[in-house]
Structure 1
Amino acid sequence: MSGTKCEWIRELIPDYAAGRLADGEKESADLHFKDCRECCDELDLVRLVFSSRAAHPEGLADKINTAVHGRRVAGRRQWWGLAAAAVAVLAIGLNMTLDRTGFTDLPLTESEFEIESENLWLTDDGLIAGAPMLEGLSDEALTQFLEELTAGTSGGAA
């Protein structure tokens, strides 16, 4: 048979062996098993595996159902559900209160207003923090500054 047909049937083999196939699929699989020895051998292997499974203990299903459904004890509600609902109501209430009152900007002091209203970094401003400003210095001050700079580079004491 064709490879794609075998692939499709091989996916159905576990359900076929367990008897879980619909009538139409079962008939198609039966026809394929008559013509394909490889798929028939795989079906035999799956049936062997299914037959060698250990049987489940008697009453296991009842024990599981009792454990699942008997877990909830009347009167002992989970407190976290109520707490989560309270937090949600509080959050919604605060949101509605804050939306209604709205936030207003605090008044600015005079210095904050000046800083906010002026352009702090002018494009023609060449000053950088820590850089010396040489304009407006006297000749004596410039000479002293030059001496300090040269003394610092030669390793001498200032």
Structure 2
Amino acid sequence: MKAEFLSWWHQLHSETAPGPVRADRASLRRAESVSAVVCLPAYQRIYRRLLDRHEGAPWLPHEQDRIAALIGLAAHLKDQDGSSLPDAMSRRAEGSDRNAVSELRFARLLESPDLDALFVGLRRTLPLIEHRADPARLADDLFGWGDFVRKQWAYAYRWPDKPGA
């Protein structure tokens, strides 16, 4: 499934993407929630592609929601730079002592009570990291979201030093 997802993502962000693909990208970017993503024809097209190539047990409802969150967020990623999300969020502009994403915003992401809250938080965070991260790692993190991934993110994020510490 991941290979099919990445193929779709590359097509979605291709410089030579045809008009209908660009329209799908635009509609996915406008979706403000996981439910809104699910209701889009653009999402249903990629979901059906993924479903056709899926082997094994049918997806459970929470897995379907994670796929929708992934597709909705992936539409916002413009560049695949190999960075995990916490690496990208703690990236600093040259000469700056501030992370792209503040400690408070990052901590709120870690505390997301459910997938919808995480989706909204990440959707708002992606512009701060210039829409650059690794879509494959995004997929892994969304599908594995829970205490383990939260801890991995906390370890990967470069927390700024406090003055006087």
User: What interval of TM-score do these two structures reach, taking the shorter chain for normalisation?
Assistant: under 0.3
TM-score normalized with structure 2 length: 0.20
Q: Bigger relative contact order, structure 1 or 2, given CA contacts below 8 A and separation 6+?
A: 2
